[in-house]
């Protein structure tokens, strides 16, 4: 069972509101998976996350993304203090670092 999973209609509403939507699924046990829905990171969230990633920190940027981009799903994955407090939240925060995405770019002499 996926706890916090939304209906296709609810997901469509979130996509209409945020444009893009990401899901994180954390397997709690054989019959329990926690689901979180995240909106895209804005410039401020990305800037903070990129600073932390550049310092080889992985948990902090994920926590920041999870706290600031969580728009729904299983409340066990919601960060209320800004820091992951259990295995579920830590796992979700580490996965959220994957939202730090940039487009492929090429820099060369003209």
**pLDDT value at residue 52:** 86
**pLDDT value at residue 4:** 86
Length of the chain: 110
Per-residue pLDDT of the chain (110 residues; tens, 9 = 90+): 688 889 999 999 999 999 999 999 999 999 999 999 999 999 999 898 888 887 888 899 999 999 999 999 999 999 988 899 999 999 999 999 888 777 788 889 88
**pLDDT value at residue 74:** 95
Tell me how far apart the alpha carbons of residues 6 and 15 are, in angstroms, rounded to a whole number: 12
Helix axis angle, 87-96 relative to 59-69, nearest 10°? Answer: 90
Read off the pTM. 0.86
The arrangement of secondary structure in 2-99, i.e. its CATH architecture, is 2-Layer Sandwich (3.30)
Tell me how far apart the alpha carbons of residues 37 and 66 are, in angstroms, rounded to a whole number: 9
For residue 33, the 8-state DSSP code is: E
């Amino acid at each position: 069972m996926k706890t916090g999973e939304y209906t296709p209609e609810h997901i469509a509403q979130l996509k209409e509101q945020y444009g893009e939507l990401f899901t994180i699924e954390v397997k709690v046990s054989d019959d329990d998976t926690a689901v979180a829905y995240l909106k895209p990171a804005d410039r401020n969230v990305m800037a903070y996350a990129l600073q932390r990633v550049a310092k080889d920190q992985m948990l902090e940027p994920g926590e920041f993304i999870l706290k600031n981009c969580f728009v729904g799903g299983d409340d066990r994955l919601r960060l209320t203090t800004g820091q992951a407090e259990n295995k579920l939240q830590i796992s979700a925060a580490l996965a959220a670092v994957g939202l730090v995405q940039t487009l492929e770019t090429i820099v060369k002499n003209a």
